[in-house]
Amino acid sequence: MEINQILKEKVENNLDTNLATHKIEIDVFGNEVTLKGIVKTYDEKDKIEEIAWNTFGVISVNNELSIENEN
């Protein structure tokens, strides 16, 4: 299995354990993770980023998550 796919699965598993209700797109290139999607609050956005950062092997996180109904 490709290294990028392994790291993506680790991040997905960590998110599923902590925030199973979200549909977040996770892109991985090398050890860099990009998060995309829509969440309900800034707290959720921050929590998802924190979970990605705390995944073993991740050295960079680009948080491109948007807040639902934000103008």
| Segment 42-60, tens digit of pLDDT | 999 999 999 999 999 999 9
> Given a cut of 90, is residue 24 above it in pLDDT?
no
Work out the pLDDT band at 69, boundaries 50, 70, 90: confident
Residue 50: the pLDDT is 95
CATH architecture of 3-67: 2-Layer Sandwich (3.30)
For β-strands 32-39 and 60-67, DSSP reports them as parallel
